Chains A and B, each alone.
Chain A
Amino acid sequence: MNAKANLKTLLAASVMAFGVSQGALAQGTIKIGSVLSVTGPSSFLGEPEDKTLKLYVDKINAAGGVNGKKIELVIYDDGGDANKARTFATRLLEDDEVIAMVGGTTTGSTMAMIPVFEEAKVPFISLAGAIEVVDPVRKFVFKTPHTDKMACEKIFEDLKKRNLTKIGMISGTDGFGASMRAQCVKVAPNYGMQILTDETYGPRDSDMTAQLTKIKNTAGVQAVVNPGFGQGPAIVTRNYAQLGMNAIPFYQSHGVASKSFIELAGAAAEGVRLPAAALLVGDKLPDSDPQKKVVTEYKQAYEGATKQPVSTFGGHAYDGLFILVEAMKRANSTDPQKIRDEIEKTKGFVGTGGIVNMTGTDHLGLDLSAFRMLEIKGGDWNLAASGS
């Protein structure tokens, strides 16, 4: 009897204490969650995302926060493990009680976390590449990075302008390369592209001359497209030059859109074209470009704070955070449902990845203009002259 009474008091006290602290927190801060792959095989994606989120949440708080409240950022590192990501997602919702999420570095961890957020009805802005994240559209799930389908379309659009319709493909068999290859094969007919030969290489292969020789000896190939990621495309590019195939236009994907690709491929990269976000060529954009201001400011802030070269991956986190912040401002509320509705109404948001116009059926909101066609000249990116 006595023990029971004690228990009751204890419970009541703890409920009260909990309630009070909850109230205090809710008034003072807005909790935003994030699960990123800061370590592990995808750390080159997760690390800049992590740094970007921390950098800009500090900046926002220093400027007074959102709607008069400071943002409290809760970041967990899933190490690239989708199972861990799901556990952290549950923890974010149940223990940390976040009102929104910007994170999910890889497609794998994003897909694992989607059901958790859908069920809790909390908005989730993903930083993963694959189109599966927003197709089919889920009520609470959004994403900021371009899809590989768009990269294919951008390449084919450029090829069409140059009147090249017969192409050879050489793709990596890693997740990125395989997914983009499949998308390219799917959209090729829409642009009247004919894929004459379709070669692949392993993500760790060190010599692709055999595959390229095959493409070289296929009659009628007018251009070559290489969807891939990591060091593979750099080796393909070097082998391409080795075999003297430079006369055939060569397209890489946005997967190699980093300075290290030019370094690794060296002189062989001259003349290679690839679709990429405006972030890479911020200083080369004309002043009239609406994205110029955003991308140069982000580049300066990121490089100043981290002393590392800017990458498009950190840019995705920047876009996700500010889409959310602006939605919260418009909603003037911390109610996840209202924030979700406002995210969906995002119109004309100028981010590092492009200009975002979301609708009820498009939770990505980017069109092909988000990609710029770049050409490597003199060891640097340049905007490719269209139609040349």
Chain B
Amino acid sequence: MAEFLQFLFSGLTVGAVYALVALGFTLIYNASGVVNFAQGEFVMLGGMVTVFAAAAGIPLLLAALIAIAAAVAIGLLLHRLAIEPARGASAVTLIIITIGASILLRGLAAIVFDKQFHKLPAFTGDTPIDIMGAAVQPQSFWVLGGTAVVVLALYVFLEHTITGKAVLATAANRLAARLVGINTTTIMALAFGGSAAIGAIAGILVTPITLTSYDVGTLLALKGFAAAMLGGMGNPVGAVVGGLLLGLLEAFGAGYLSSTYKDAFAFLVILIVLFAAPQGLFGRRVVERV
């Protein structure tokens, strides 16, 4: 039982990070149909800016806010300078632009910061909490709690505010949204800024556990993308479920099967799911009308 709980918490913590990255994908995908592969770089920025601001003597909370602001600014710049000028291009072109942006951001981070690994102190100490024999880091609860708050805030925003509904409307049909007076360019910018903020929050929450460096974004983007696909691209609930599921698959795969093949195991399950349900677990079935 202790063993099971240990794997469970390990999986949930890692999964929560994947879920936040997947949520970032979802928000931009919904508003623009673009899969933003620079999403992992937002996570990196959140962690790295906080580390360096904190090292410069700024209190942790303020450093975290600066990091989120910096990530949002870069998210908006990405939209304004790279995505918006190419708005007529196909989704594939835009996706390739985001890959280029991610390489650029990674390179800049290597120069502006450095190539070393960095850590942040855990928010509430390092003493593990014992839960029926499983040792859990207090930071895990911050990650899980933070993820829950972000998901809830996003839900309230999308379902209960006019601007949120405008995002959903843009996602549903951009032309129709524009016809009813929604400024879709603003909505797009909002989506990029929002998902940059989500990414940065993820980066800040996990850095005390996972450490950070200029190139942590690549793998996180890949795992987050896999999680988003598993849950169903474009569905926020799917993103969260997909992320948590991927984390759990890895932890249980490493614990009960073989640690060498844990990634293979996780991706095998994803392949099987997508084979049975190509839209993902919660994906909308898109009907092409002729």
A binds B: yes
Binding site for B on A (CB under 8 A): 43-44, 173, 199-202, 204, 206-207, 209-211, 213-214, 217, 230-231, 234-235, 241-244, 260, 263-264, 266-268
B7 touches A (CB below 8 Å): yes
Docked complex: B175-224 residues within 8 A CB-CB of A: 206, 209-211, 213, 216, 219
Q: Enumerate chain B residues within 8 angstroms of A213, measured Cβ to Cβ.
A: 3, 6-7, 255
Given contacts A201-B259, A234-B211, A243-B135, contact A206 B14 (CB under 8 A): yes
B170 touches A (CB below 8 Å): no
A242 touches B259 (CB 8 A): no
CB distance from A338 to the nearest CB of B (A): 41
For B17, the closest partner residue in chain A by CB is: A206
Partner of A235, one of B210, B219, B252, B254: B210
B259 touches A264 (CB 8 A): no
CB distance from A134 to the nearest CB of B (A): 29
Docked complex: B129-149 residues within 8 A CB-CB of A: 135, 137
CA distance A199 to B263 in the complex (A): 14
The digit string for B5-44, where 1 denotes a CB below 8 A from any CB of A, is: 0110111011001000000000000000000000000000
B219 touches A210 (CB 8 A): no
CA distance A209 to B4 in the complex (A): 12
28 A-B pairs with CB atoms under 8 Å apart are A44-B115, A44-B116, A173-B260, A200-B259, A201-B254, A206-B17, A209-B7, A209-B251, A210-B252, A210-B254, A210-B259, A210-B262, A213-B3, A214-B259, A230-B117, A231-B211, A231-B213, A234-B119, A234-B211, A235-B209, A235-B210, A235-B211, A242-B126, A243-B128, A243-B135, A264-B117, A266-B119, A267-B126
Q: Enumerate chain B residues within 8 angstroms of A217, measured Cβ to Cβ.
A: 3
CA distance A49 to B141 in the complex (A): 43
B117 touches A211 (CB 8 A): no
Given contacts A207-B251, A267-B126, contact A244 B135 (CB under 8 A): yes
Given contacts A206-B210, A235-B211, contact A214 B14 (CB under 8 A): no
- In which size bucket is the chain B interface? 20 to 34
A264 touches B3 (CB 8 A): no
Given contacts A200-B259, A201-B259, contact A210 B119 (CB under 8 A): no
Given contacts A204-B216, A231-B117, contact A264 B211 (CB under 8 A): yes
B117 touches A207 (CB 8 A): no
- Given A43-B115, A210-B254, 12 further pairs, Cβ under 8 A: A206-B210, A209-B10, A210-B250, A210-B251, A214-B259, A234-B117, A235-B209, A243-B128, A243-B135, A264-B117, A266-B119, A266-B126
CB distance from A329 to the nearest CB of B (A): 37
Partner of A242, one of B128, B211, B250, B254: B128
For B211, the closest partner residue in chain A by CB is: A231
Partner of B255, one of A210, A235, A266: A210
Given contacts A173-B260, A244-B135, contact A206 B209 (CB under 8 A): yes
CA distance A204 to B215 in the complex (A): 10
CB distance from A173 to the nearest CB of B (A): 7
Q: Enumerate chain A residues within 8 angstroms of B6, measured Cβ to Cβ.
A: 209-210, 213, 243
B119 touches A263 (CB 8 A): yes
The digit string for B40-81, where 1 denotes a CB below 8 A from any CB of A, is: 000000000000000000000000000000000000000000
CA distance A200 to B257 in the complex (A): 12
CA distance A214 to B254 in the complex (A): 9
Q: Enumerate chain A residues within 8 angstroms of B13, measured Cβ to Cβ.
A: 207
B137 touches A242 (CB 8 A): yes
- For A213, A267, A268, the residue with the greatest tally of chain B CB atoms inside 10 Å of its CB is A213
A264 touches B119 (CB 8 A): yes
CB distance from A106 to the nearest CB of B (A): 16
CB distance from B271 to the nearest CB of A (A): 19
Q: Enumerate chain A residues within 8 angstroms of B213, measured Cβ to Cβ.
A: 231
CA distance A210 to B11 in the complex (A): 9
CB distance from B237 to the nearest CB of A (A): 24
CB distance from A231 to the nearest CB of B (A): 4
Q: Enumerate chain B residues within 8 angstroms of A214, measured Cβ to Cβ.
A: 254-255, 259
Q: Enumerate chain B residues within 8 angstroms of A241, measured Cβ to Cβ.
A: 126
CA distance A217 to B255 in the complex (A): 11
Q: Enumerate chain B residues within 8 angstroms of A43, measured Cβ to Cβ.
A: 115
A210 touches B126 (CB 8 A): no
CA distance A210 to B219 in the complex (A): 19
A207 touches B135 (CB 8 A): no
CB distance from B130 to the nearest CB of A (A): 9
Given contacts A199-B259, A204-B216, contact A260 B210 (CB under 8 A): no
CB distance from B142 to the nearest CB of A (A): 15
Given contacts A231-B117, A242-B137, A267-B126, contact A211 B254 (CB under 8 A): yes
- For A43, A207, A263, the residue with the greatest tally of chain B CB atoms inside 10 Å of its CB is A207
CB distance from A162 to the nearest CB of B (A): 26
Given contacts A209-B6, A213-B3, contact A202 B211 (CB under 8 A): no
CA distance A211 to B213 in the complex (A): 23
- Which 7 residue pairs of A and B lie closest in terms of their CB atoms, listed nearest first? A206-B210, A210-B254, A210-B255, A231-B117, A204-B219, A209-B10, A199-B259
For B251, the closest partner residue in chain A by CB is: A210
CA distance A211 to B13 in the complex (A): 15
Q: Enumerate chain A residues within 8 angstroms of B118, measured Cβ to Cβ.
A: 264
CB distance from B124 to the nearest CB of A (A): 14
Q: Enumerate chain A residues within 8 angstroms of B206, measured Cβ to Cβ.
A: 206
For B210, the closest partner residue in chain A by CB is: A206
Q: Enumerate chain A residues within 8 angstroms of B262, measured Cβ to Cβ.
A: 210
Q: Enumerate chain A residues within 8 angstroms of B255, measured Cβ to Cβ.
A: 210-211, 213-214
Docked complex: B232-283 residues within 8 A CB-CB of A: 250-252, 254-255, 259-260, 262-263
B117 touches A242 (CB 8 A): no
